[in-house]
Amino acid sequence: MSRLPQNGDVVQLFGIGCEGCGHFHGEFEVLSVMDGDELALVVEARDIHCEGAVDQDPFVYLRIQWNQDLECWQTDCDGHPMVVNIAGHYRGPHRAAA
């Protein structure tokens, strides 16, 4: 599947931080979708698990942006980009109609 999540969808996210930062995974509800010049999602954690040095507090509400140059989703982790995978959803410019 390669569709953009919609408001109210519950999605599985997997975030991988920089060295020493760790990673997280869990279920998140999509609160808003910005689909224009900038592709971004705002999500809220429903169930989150963190491993490594990261604490779950910064990941309760996330703004995830599509990085067109790197062709990946990213969020902010203490001022550094963190790569995020949305299981079963949009993974590139050939997005299917929702």
- pLDDT tens for 8-49 read 999 999 888 766 667 788 999 999 999 888 889 999 999 888
Residue 78 pLDDT > 70, yes or no? yes
Confidence of residue 53 (pLDDT cuts 50, 70, 90): low
> Per the confidence metrics, is the pTM higher than 0.85?
no
Write the secondary structure of 28-92 as one string of H (helix), E (strand) and C (coil): EEEEEEEECCCEEEEEEEEEEEEECCCCCHHHCEEEEEEECCCCEEEEEECCEEEEEEECCCCCC
